[in-house]
Structure 1
């Protein structure tokens, strides 16, 4: 019996995500200031997106991008170190993927262009939900 390939599987196996993951791992290992710049750019993009739309999916995207950004800031500041570096690299990769206008489904396509971004953000959020809940309690 073969396993059905899901939408998230296609995103994760795309060249776009692989490049974002490589960049995320590099930032985690070598460039803490680059991580902070990434956070700034992701927050700018999600704020612009939220201003342009009142859709509940955009609010959900906003929630996770803000939470991921706070988590990375806390890591860089040394105030939260409970997540493994590989998990933080995945979060960084998601933020890199999110700010890139050219990915699996280009953001230039209205509404539908954020489908892959949202799927990826929700996938990471779901996979580390317990850790995110614990982080939110400590904030």
Structure 2
């Protein structure tokens, strides 16, 4: 098991090299929405603590913003610098992958995903603000 930064770097390389066409981005959007639906089920569960629920809600809302931005990019409704677009795609890739620093089916399996999403969310803060102001 590696740390989330090393694994994220792997996904960033993949985003830069492999996710340059619309078909792959479209598939990634579908995978992202399906993965986000699983978080929704977790948040609604009575089996998690309020602290876990709060963390998963933060993850949900940040990921939803990133997916909305990716959808706008996919539909040519929004533009970003290529390096920031790659970071966005890498975050979504990390989120949908069951094989990351902490496997998603393990206890606290979304902890590393939340760290990556928060990290990228901070990197893209100005783009997120611009996205909300433009659309």
Preserved contact between residue 28 and residue 85 of structure 1 (Cα < 8 Å): no
Any idea what the Cα deviations from partners look like across 1:74-95, whole Å, max 9, x if unmatched? 11221111x2011111111111
Matched residue count: 125
**Normalized against structure 2, the TM-score is what?**
0.84
Q: Answer yes or no: is 1:116 the counterpart of 2:116.
A: no
Partner of 1:128: 124
Question: 5+ residue gaps in structure 2?
Answer: 45-52
What SS class does the counterpart of residue 113 from structure 1 fall into? coil
Preserved contact between residue 94 and residue 121 of structure 1 (Cα < 8 Å): yes
Partner of 1:86: 83
Matches within 5 A, 1:62-77: 62-77=60-75
Residue 52 of structure 1 and its aligned partner are, at CA, apart by 2.0
| CA separation of 1:79 and 1:43: change in aligned 2, threshold 3 A | same
Matches within 5 A, 1:94-105: 94-105=91-102
The one of 12, 16, 21 equivalent to 1:21 is 12
Runs of 4+ aligned residues of structure 1 deviating over 4 Å after TM superposition are none
Cα root mean square deviation, aligned: 1.5
Distance 2:111 2:127 in 1: 24
Residue 35 of structure 1 and its aligned partner are, at CA, apart by 0.8
Residue 28 of structure 1 and its aligned partner are, at CA, apart by 4.1
Partner of 2:50: none
Preserved contact between residue 11 and residue 104 of structure 1 (Cα < 8 Å): yes
Q: Answer yes or no: is 1:32 the counterpart of 2:22.
A: yes
